[in-house]
Structure 1
Amino acid sequence: FSAGDEPDGSGKFIANILQNPKIKESMKQFLDNDGLVLGICNGFQALIKSGLLPYGDVDSVNSNSPTLFRNNINRHISRVVSTKIVSNNSPWMSSFIVGETHNIPVSHGEGKFVVTKEFAEELFNNGQVITQYCDEDGNVTMDKEYNLNGSTYAIEGIVSKCGKILGKMGHSERYEDGLLKNIAGNKMQDLFSNGVNYFKK
């Protein structure tokens, strides 16, 4: 939470670091060598602000690029939300079935995914939108009771075209057996085993 998590704080800070020529080159080599990148919450902000998402490189951000903005209610949100898998076009998503839902903790003040209609269509057509906010019945929705931050097209997570870079707002890492016992539904979204298994093949 750099700079007290002021607007764009962590995203701006990490994106700035990624602009360092040595780090930028290292990141390119890492991806060229089949590396995987995952950014959750502030990490997602950094990937978006740097251009690694949705473009796959650091130098592509422009005025039409998607961004993450303040939640519609203009304050921090900390709750469990339902998300729906709409694409498994990524090593991180390899064990998931399109249509399945997960109940995931969120905790952020700037998690509203903002994108133009044209760019959203491109992301959907490329299979880059991986998860969307949904209701208890698995219906994708803009209803503020479920899409808490007001994300455009209810988008919760996206990947790069190659699928090796993934960013999402929901904290998949915050669940393990014995937690959230009073929350119904599927709470285990094990992206991490998928990442490990990708390299074990």
Structure 2
Amino acid sequence: CNLRSEDIFRSIEEMKKNISECHIFALCGGFSAGDEPDGSGKFMANVLNNKEIAEEIHKLLDRGGLILGICNGFQALVKSGLLPYGHLGMVTRESPTLFRNDINRHVSQMVTTRVSTTNSPWLSGFKVGDLHTIAVSHGEGKFVVNGDLARELFANGQVAFQYVDPIDEEVTMESPYNPNGSYYAIEGIISRNGQILGKMGHTERYERNLFKNIPDDGLEQPLFDNAVRYFRGE
């Protein structure tokens, strides 16, 4: 509970300690302050840019650690500059962002995404073209990026996943398959060195037989297994 200023400072100290001792730093989805304004990713990004937290995050990356952001966590990585630049505080007017869904309200559904690169420990167990069926649940998941930077992301192999039509398995801008209208159908991106991954889909919401009337094939997206194998040297 962070009701008082001293609670905030105590949280920062605890967070610093945890980051200094971890191999993987993961930011999940979730609400803060009523999710206003601009979603909780904005609040999370402010925490990441705290001088002491930022120092520990850069130390984590320097020692080969990994960072993951899902949904609001993805928003935080983009708004802080960790994605796509791999470094905090590099956000400019030309930087990508995550904006309100095209339908201007929350979406909660299953989508199909396609692997676009394997240039990351997070993606090392996949093949380009692999399909996954993922749960999404967000109000501000539209990835917005200018054309020049989008071309750079594709050229660098930084586009991790794209939304596809599950019938023809082709990248699509059409709703509901692209649930938020993301430019270039981008669902997730990585940093240039592959240590940081951000995505809108809730990979962590998979459990066998959890979903009704949806076959289990393609539901599991073992990002976490890939990360563990990376640290084991497998």
* TM-score tier after normalising by the smaller chain length: over 0.9
Pairing partner for 1:176 from 207, 210, 213: 207
Match status 1:152 vs 2:183: yes
Q: Deviations over 1:101-140 (max 9, x none)?
A: 1100000000000000111000000000010000112100
Pairing partner for 1:49 from 51, 55, 79: 79
Q: Deviations over 1:134-190 (max 9, x none)?
A: 011210000112001000000000000000000000000000112124113410001
Pairing partner for 2:163 from 110, 114, 133: 133
**TM-score, normalising length from structure 2?**
0.84
1:76-91 equivalences under 5 Å are: 76-91=106-121
Query: Which amino acid in structure 2 is aligned with residue 2 of structure 1?
Result: S
Match status 1:124 vs 2:154: yes
Match status 1:38 vs 2:51: no
SS, match of residue 221 in structure 2? coil
Residue 15 of structure 1 corresponds to which residue in structure 2? 45
Q: Name the CA distance, whole Å, in 1 between partners of 2:171 and 2:37.
A: 28
Pairing partner for 2:229 from 194, 197, 201: 197
Q: Name the CA distance, whole Å, in 2 between partners of 1:145 and 1:15.
A: 29
Greater C-alpha radius of gyration: 2
SS, match of residue 11 in structure 1? helix
Contact 1:84-1:133 at 8 Å conserved across structures? yes
Q: Name the CA distance, whole Å, in 2 between partners of 1:154 and 1:83.
A: 9
Higher mean displacement: 97-106 or 179-188: 179-188
SS, match of residue 97 in structure 1? coil
Higher mean displacement: 181-190 or 50-59: 181-190
Contact 1:14-1:46 at 8 Å conserved across structures? yes
Residue 7 of structure 1, CA deviation: 3.3
Q: Which runs of 5+ in 2 are unaligned?
A: 1-30
SS, match of residue 231 in structure 2? helix
Query: Which of the pair has the greater relative contact order for Cα pairs under 8 Å at 6+ separation?
Result: 1
1:94-105 equivalences under 5 Å are: 94-105=124-135
Contact 2:165-2:177 at 8 Å conserved across structures? yes
- The 4+ residue runs of structure 1 with deviation greater than 6 A are none
**TM-score, normalising length from structure 1?**
0.98
Contact 2:112-2:133 at 8 Å conserved across structures? yes
Q: Which runs of 5+ in 1 are unaligned?
A: none
Q: Name the CA distance, whole Å, in 2 between partners of 1:142 and 1:7.
A: 26
Residue 200 of structure 1, CA deviation: 0.4
Residue 110 of structure 1 corresponds to which residue in structure 2? 140
Q: Alignment identity in percent?
A: 63
In the comparison of the two structures, how many residue pairs are matched? 201
Contact 1:8-1:45 at 8 Å conserved across structures? no
Match status 1:188 vs 2:216: no
Query: Which amino acid in structure 2 is aligned with residue 114 of structure 1?
Result: V
SS, match of residue 194 in structure 1? helix
Q: Name the CA distance, whole Å, in 2 between partners of 1:145 and 1:171.
A: 17
Contact 1:102-1:188 at 8 Å conserved across structures? yes
